[in-house]
Amino acid sequence: MIALRQVSLQRGTQALLEDADLTLHAGYSVGIVGPNGAGKSSMFSLLLGNLAPEKGELEMSGGQRIAHMAQEVGTLNRSIHDYVIDGHCALREAESALLQAQQKEDAHREAELHGTIEALDGYTAPARAAQLLVGLGFRQNDLARPLSDFSGGWRMRVNLARTLFMPSDVLLLDEPTNHLDLDALLWLEQWLVRYAGTLLLISHDRDFLDAVCDHIVHFERRQLVLYRGNYSTFERTRAEKLALQQAQAAKQQARRAEIESFVERFRYKATKARQAQSRLKMLERMGDIAVAHADSPFHFSIPCADRISRPLLVLDEADLGYRSADADVRQLQNVSLSLQPGQRIGLLGPNGAGKSTLIKSLTGELPLLAGKRIAGEHLAVGYFAQHQLESLDLSATPFLHVQRLSPRAADADIRQFLGGFGFRGDEVFSEVARFSGGEKARLALALVAWHKPNLLLLDEPTNHLDLEMREALTQALASFDGAVLVVSHDRHLLRATVDEFWKVADHRVEPFDGDLDDYRAWLKARLEGERRDARAAKVDNDAPREDRKAARRAAAEQREALRPLKRIRDKAEQAMEKTQQALAVVEEALGDSQLYTDEARKSELNQRLAEQAELASALVDQEHAWLAAEEALEEAEQRLEA
């Protein structure tokens, strides 16, 4: 158990908590949410003993092992595989002691230490560490490479793998998805769902919080408010509370009208494709989301260029990649596409397939290796990528950044524009060097918007942004009149922003006929196919020619042996889908705002809430059953491979 009793906490002169109380029981999976600067990371420092409260006390059950992701990466000469295993200190100590015992030829001590390593599950450690790294996007041949070979974002992935590898009863994760692509995020999501200890997770990804967390802690007016359920439940519950406050009524109605206009705009496109229908459902839910974020400090739009071309941009039989001294590296081949005004496109594809390469080629930053890039006469590109944070002038202010773009712009117009991105009052004259990563990302987005583009190319725009800013960006993109092409691991933003998906895989770019759930299924099938091919290749390479036919026959028999386990897995998956559909119907009914204000419908509200709780509980049980079936299937596959 973790308990804060009347805790007051501050950083410098800023009060973060005042007489706050919070109790978290063992096994909770808790999402920590609140605006940037509210004190979320300081709460982790408190739990780790690096920060003492000004008042009150922290109580934690004795003997709890806490794993926390370090922000700095050391020992750059270590291979990433060894670096991950180094996170298990007790195991490394036992291995070192075993080496000393072997050198001294102390057989009794050797036997004792072998038992210790066995108890620590040390003999499976190399395989478990490799599984974590591969799940987070590394290739098998990367595992022996030193940390120094990798960029900062990839080093953070190694740090995350090391943290997950550590034995722990309490796991503290601060923005673990910031440097992940969608594939790695989906893998991490499933890993955390299976984590048996107490999880405390700081994240600004609502779908990730929904999938992983069963409780939410909200930093609100220097207090800690605990909500039962995932992030969507928190939003709805908080919206109900705000709806009862008269001071919020005007804001709520204005935001509802804004969202309804978005829904009306896209309603008649819903028959075009399944993903458009999914997006319409998401937009219909956004009314409740808007209420929960009615007090957000971020309200902005992205103006579109006055003149526009049809098409905006064309690639004709283009090869995309990089030139080097030795040879051209072609990541994507024979790409032909046309971007039209009003298109909303999300890029999907495995890590390293070429999504960022495609965006850089569309901007013109990366020259084509072959083919043509044809820009429309009035093309105005707004490009956001992570390196733009590095290109900000650290000695300048937000006001000066905008003024440099438009020297004749009125001061009042610049200040009003920046206010929508959260830069108010004297903040517009603060040096960028003092800004957090989130504040820099907001400024970079503001500069993109100021240019009035008619084509937005966005490569992971939500990294470093908090939930409030992500919601404001989602709404701004939904109302943008130009074309949008986006790469993001934020599934809420994708569902609420895009009408169609393009798949970037196997050196090709082609339309993807499906939504994000279909992509998850495609990705899973692809990974299973790769594993089958690897096993078949191993059999063909290792076995003599005359034994290969027998080996293939044995493989077929193994697949037949796995068939009953697959049926159990598939049946559990079907039960989950049925419950999810029923839950969606109930949640749609709960989206009616009059349900909370009409006294005559109070019994209906209570009935719906009870149905929601019952279905949510059933879904959790079904998810556990599905995970158990999936694990049983994986274990059986591993036994057959051995």
Residue carrying structure tokens 């009862």? 244
The Cα 311–Cα 102 span in angstroms is: 72
552: confidence class by pLDDT, cuts 50, 70, 90: low
Helix (H, G, I), strand (E, B) or coil at 439: helix
CA distances (Å), origin 309, targets 306, 342, 349, 495: 10, 11, 29, 27
Name the 3-class secondary structure at 456: strand
Range from 186-195, 266-275, 347-356 that averages highest in pLDDT? 186-195
Q: Is the pLDDT of residue 65 over 70?
A: yes
In angstroms, rounded to a whole number, what is the distance separating the alpha carbons of residues 60 and 46? Answer: 11
The per-residue pLDDT for 285 is: 52
What value does the mean pLDDT take over residues 408-432? 89
Strands 215-220, 223-228: pairing is antiparallel
Structure tokens at 58: 């922290």
Among 7-11, 237-241, 311-315, which is the least confidently predicted range?
237-241
- When pLDDT is cut at 50, 70 and 90, the band that residue 273 belongs to is very low
Q: What is the DSSP letter of 199?
A: E
Percent of the chain surpassing pLDDT 90: 28
Largest alpha-carbon pair distance within the chain? 83
**Two structure tokens written together for 187:** 């893998």
Give the phi and the psi of residue 581 in degrees, each rounded to 5.
-65, -45
**Which of 288-292, 444-448, 547-551 is modeled with the greatest confidence?**
444-448
Which of 496, 492, 481, 486 lies closest to 302 in space, CA to CA?
Answer: 481
Mean pLDDT value across the chain: 82
Dist CA 147 CA 141 (whole Å)? 13
Nearest Cα to Cα of residue 489 among 165, 73, 187: 187
Q: Which two tokens stand for residue 263?
A: 């829904």
Cα 392 from Cα 22, distance rounded (Å): 40
Residue with tokens 């941009």: 313
* 234-243, 383-392, 503-512, 598-607: which is most confident: 503-512
Cβ atoms 564, 258 nearer than 8 A: no
Lowest mean pLDDT among 43-47, 333-337, 441-445, 593-597: 593-597
More confident residue, 624 or 205: 205
pLDDT of residue 72: 66
The three-state secondary structure class of 344 is strand
Sign of CA dihedral 538, 540, 544, 550: positive
Q: Any idea where the domains of the chain sit in the sequence?
A: 66-216, 313-518, 543-641
What 3-state class would DSSP assign to 330? strand
What pLDDT is stored for residue 284 in this prediction?
Answer: 54
Tokens read off for 256: 């509802």
Q: Which of 331, 276, 266 has its CA nearest to residue 513?
A: 276
SS3 32: strand
Distance CA 447, CA 417 (A): 10
CA distance 499 to 315: 21
535-541 long-range contacts (CB < 8 A, ≥24 apart) are: 535/641
CATH ID of 66-216, from 3.40.50.300, 3.40.228.10, 2.40.50.140, 3.30.70.141: 3.40.50.300
Mean pLDDT, residues 609-621 taken together: 77
Judge whether 309 and 278 are in contact, CB under 8 Å: no
Whether 129 has a pLDDT exceeding 50, the answer reads yes
SS3 state of residue 328: coil
Mean pLDDT of 518-538: 74
555 Cβ neighbours under 8 A, 6+ residues apart: 535, 536, 539
Q: Say how many Å lie between the first and final Cα of the chain, rounded.
A: 41
pLDDT tens-place string over residues 78-96: 899 999 999 899 999 998 9
Q: In this structure, are residues 90 and 82 in contact, taking their beta carbons and an 8 Å threshold?
A: no
Name the least confident of 13-27, 205-219, 242-256, 511-525: 242-256
Asked which of 18-32, 199-213, 257-271 is least confident by mean pLDDT, the reply is 257-271
List beta partners, residue 2: 24, 60
| Cβ neighbour number for residue 276 with a 10 Å cutoff | 19
Least confident span in 61-65, 239-243, 272-276: 272-276
Residue with structure tokens 């804001």?
251
Kindly state the tokens that stand for 246. 């008269």
Residue ranges in 213-297 assigned as alpha helix (H): 231-243, 246-266, 274-292
Mean pLDDT value across residues 163-189: 90
Q: Using only the alpha carbons of the chain, give its radius of gyration.
A: 26
User: What integer pLDDT is reported at residue 601 of this predicted model?
Assistant: 78
Give the homologous superfamily in CATH for domain 313-518: P-loop containing nucleotide triphosphate hydrolases (3.40.50.300)
Classify strands 313-322 and 370-375 as parallel, antiparallel or unpaired.
Answer: antiparallel
Q: What is the distance between the alpha carbons of residues 43 and 8, in angstroms, rounded to a whole number?
A: 11
Give Cα separations from 299 to 9, 234, 369, 452 (angstroms): 30, 22, 41, 17
Burial class (CB in 10 A: 0-12, 13-18, 19+), 450: buried
180 pLDDT tier (thresholds 50, 70, 90): confident
Domains 66-216 and 313-518 share a fold: yes
Measured distance CA(132)–CA(453) in Å, rounded: 41
CA atoms lying within 13 Å on the CB side of residue 616? 19
Percent helix, strand, coil in the chain, to 5, is 55, 20, 30
Highest-confidence segment of 386-395, 409-418, 462-471: 409-418
Query: Cβ–Cβ contacts within 10 Å for residue 102, how many?
Result: 13
Which one is predicted more confidently, 611 or 595? 611
Structure tokens at 208: 């990730």
Q: What is the mean pLDDT of residues 252-262?
A: 57
DSSP string spanning 561-590? HHHHHHHHHHHHHHHHHHHHHHHHHHHHHH
3-class SS string, 471-484: HHHHHHHHCCCCEE
| Minimum mean pLDDT range among 294-298, 391-395, 494-498 | 294-298
Say what the pLDDT of residue 270 is.
47
